[in-house]
Structure 1
């Protein structure tokens, strides 16, 4: 099964960012995925295969908060 990621998903990564946070928001999808750290706001482009290996779980979606 191919994991499906959408813009606005909050993902928890296996390793923490140097700022100490491990929660990221997906801001762009495609062959590369852009994610934004929810701790410090840094944005990073990651190749999809590397990203899929590094994701621990999907915590939710920013756009569906409260529903």
Structure 2
């Protein structure tokens, strides 16, 4: 629902049969899965989260040694 080209959120959900994401704001078009992957990557990079950061957070909640 979020355009990986411009960051605009769509006002509607794509049905399961719709395989192409088309942004009405900027005109960006891509396979819906590729668009979703690019959006997730951009969010992770923006928040600078990594798998190690998540593992350490989970371990600290469990009171563990860091192994998950």
Question: Shorter-chain TM-score: which interval?
Answer: 0.3 to 0.5
Q: Which has the higher helix share?
A: 2
TM-score (norm 1): 0.34
Structure ranking higher on relative contact order (CA contacts 8 Å, 6+ apart) = 1
Structure having the higher Rg? 2
